[in-house]
Structure 1
Amino acid sequence: MTRLSYERYCAEIVTQTSLLVASLKDADLTTEVPSCPEWNVGQLLRHLGGVQRWAETLVRTRATEPIPEGGRDLAAYTDEDPAVVGPWLAEGAERLAETLRAAGPGTPVWTPVPDYGTTDFFVRRFTHETAIHRADATLALGLEYELDKEVAVDGIDEWMELGSLPLHFEVHPWMRELLGPGRTLHFHATDTPPEANAEWVVDLTGDVITWRRAHEKSAVAVRGPVTELLLAIYKRRPITDGPFKIFGDTELLDFWLERVDFG
């Protein structure tokens, strides 16, 4: 399993933000975002720009402890202007990418997830934070969403990695209810080359959630395009709305989607 390169992540933060900004032309930013129901599109953009700036500050200062996270208090941003928020968002993404490049991979810095502790966490996390929030805004505005397949595959890998951390049981105790004998889920991307090995098994049969890239018979299997799989796993669109073929225990799939809580 190979991650994208550090430089590719830096470039994708800018690319995903640029694509998002380009979609804002003539957009009504007061449009509500179904996948983030507490926000409209303008507030979503302010959130994304705020957390990008937060990460940039952490990396630039080589923070050893947390600082207040930006992009949370959005009450003042209910009626945003694309001509204002678009350039602001693009500037923040450029600054974050430049700061990550200057710091380089493996540089120690505080991270919100214990045991990561380097710039490698932020460069990957903000690639996918940006790509998923671009989907939130794009879909809310009724536009088509496309994502490079390599980025989508890596996005699922990262979701699987972070979403299976044992700390979730402490934060979300109800996730323990997922565990049980025979509970396995298989996700299979149908539009990637065989060498990509874009198949994932989520294993809920032990004491913790585990996952692996594999082709294995499971209690339930979902086959579909990789970007659609990513959006469904992130609960950005109901899996019943996607172009999927689902085999096996659909109740387990629904239960898993109900209980998982990352991103």
Structure 2
Amino acid sequence: METTEHIDALRREGVRLAEAAARTELSAPVPTCPDWQLADLLRHIGYVHRWATAFPSRGLRAPLDDAGADAVVGLVPSDAGLLDWFREGHAALVDALSEAPADIECWSFLPAPSPLAFWARRQAHETAVHRHDADAAAGKPGPAVDTVLALDGIDELLRGFMTRSRATVRSDRPRTVQVRATDGPGSWRMTITREPMTVSTDDSPEPADLTLAGPARDLYLLLWNRLPAEQARAVETTGDRDLLALWRGEATIRWS
């Protein structure tokens, strides 16, 4: 995906998140984030959007510590102002990314063609995944994530986050997982060992210990731990389902 496409997705998914929140009580539980109510979700995503805005808008070359992050985010309002606060932060992030020069130099934390490309992609998926959380709190599914965005988000998760040294999906003996989209050009093969996993985009003919095949939108939510395996009826699961339990327990993402 191009940076402009990521920004468009960020804009669209943020509007959908706000729409879901607007029709839901702030005290509603978020089933996909069991410790949260909707108010917690809005505080989190509103905080992240403002934190992320600071890097391309100010050209910050290093990560912010907690105090620095709190300073750029500013005061978090009471519940009554949360939705408007979210909308303002989302709009500011979209504007910052839209207006930033393509060659902006600032801190980022995953491989990308440029810092701007990184922030646009990261915040598009941050927002799309949490939009699903808002839909879950509202008790009504929203529009399915676009296939192209879902494929891109699977790639960011597997080849970006899951190969980092801090990722905790590990196995005492080598295990392989093949992920294959049935509605687009996407295939990933994960090799899980005691070391950080490796991921290739080869569609290997060798059988994997576990193969997941299905529509990109379902694989996206399943792998981001937003869709329990037993509810992912469109995903064909072949092989060792214990690996799904390993993924569910260990494939966690920290937001910075």
Cα distance, 1:164–1:32 mapped onto 2, change above 3 Å: same
Deviation of the 1:180 alpha carbon:
2.5
Deviation of the 1:73 alpha carbon:
11
SS where residue 43 of structure 1 aligns? helix
SS where residue 214 of structure 1 aligns? coil
Q: Could you tell me which of 192, 197, 205 is aligned with 1:204?
A: 192
Please name the residue that 2:134 is paired with.
137
Cα distance in 1, alignment partners of residues 203 and 34 from structure 2: 36
Please name the residue that 1:153 is paired with.
151
Q: Could you tell me which of 176, 180, 187 is aligned with 2:179?
A: 187
SS where residue 34 of structure 1 aligns? coil
Q: Could you tell me which of 21, 35, 56 is aligned with 2:18?
A: 21
Cα distance in 2, alignment partners of residues 74 and 180 from structure 1: 48
Q: Deviations over 1:51-106 (max 9, x none)?
A: 101111222111122233359999975xx34xx43333222222112211222334
**Alignment length (residue pairs):** 245
Indicate the percent of aligned positions where both proteins have the same amino acid: 26
Matched, 1:34 2:31: yes
TM-score of the superposed pair, with normalisation by structure 1: 0.82
Cα distance in 2, alignment partners of residues 46 and 20 from structure 1: 13
1:1-263 to structure 2, matched below 5 A, reads: 4-67=1-64, 68-70=68-70, 80-81=79-80, 84-111=81-108, 113=109, 118-145=115-142, 146-168=144-166, 172=168, 175=169, 177-178=170-171, 180-181=173-174, 183-190=175-182, 192=183, 196-204=184-192, 207-216=195-204, 217-243=207-233, 244-262=235-253
The two structures, once aligned, show a CA RMSD in angstroms of 2.7
Cα distance in 1, alignment partners of residues 13 and 131 from structure 2: 7
Contact persistence 1:197–1:214 (CA under 8 A): no
2:202 aligned partner, one-letter code: A
Cα distance in 2, alignment partners of residues 184 and 200 from structure 1: 10
Cα distance in 1, alignment partners of residues 8 and 226 from structure 2: 24
Cα distance, 1:179–1:59 mapped onto 2, change above 3 Å: farther
Contact persistence 1:106–1:120 (CA under 8 A): no
Cα distance, 1:106–1:212 mapped onto 2, change above 3 Å: farther
1:180 aligned partner, one-letter code: R
User: What runs of 5+ residues in structure 2 fail to find an aligned partner?
Assistant: none
Q: Deviations over 1:119-141 (max 9, x none)?
A: 22211110000000101111122
SS where residue 201 of structure 1 aligns? strand
Contact persistence 1:204–1:210 (CA under 8 A): yes
Cα distance in 1, alignment partners of residues 139 and 75 from structure 2: 23
Q: Deviations over 1:196-225 (max 9, x none)?
A: 312221122584311122323211111222
User: What runs of 5+ residues in structure 1 fail to find an aligned partner?
Assistant: none
Contact persistence 1:49–1:89 (CA under 8 A): yes
SS where residue 130 of structure 2 aligns? helix
TM-score of the superposed pair, with normalisation by structure 2: 0.84
Cα distance in 2, alignment partners of residues 29 and 87 from structure 1: 13
Cα distance in 1, alignment partners of residues 156 and 232 from structure 2: 21
Cα distance in 1, alignment partners of residues 75 and 198 from structure 2: 36
Cα distance, 1:74–1:232 mapped onto 2, change above 3 Å: farther
Contact persistence 2:28–2:38 (CA under 8 A): yes
Contact persistence 1:220–1:250 (CA under 8 A): yes
Cα distance, 1:32–1:72 mapped onto 2, change above 3 Å: farther
2:221 aligned partner, one-letter code: L
Cα distance, 1:97–1:6 mapped onto 2, change above 3 Å: same
Cα distance, 1:229–1:260 mapped onto 2, change above 3 Å: same
SS where residue 180 of structure 2 aligns? strand
Contact persistence 1:60–1:103 (CA under 8 A): yes
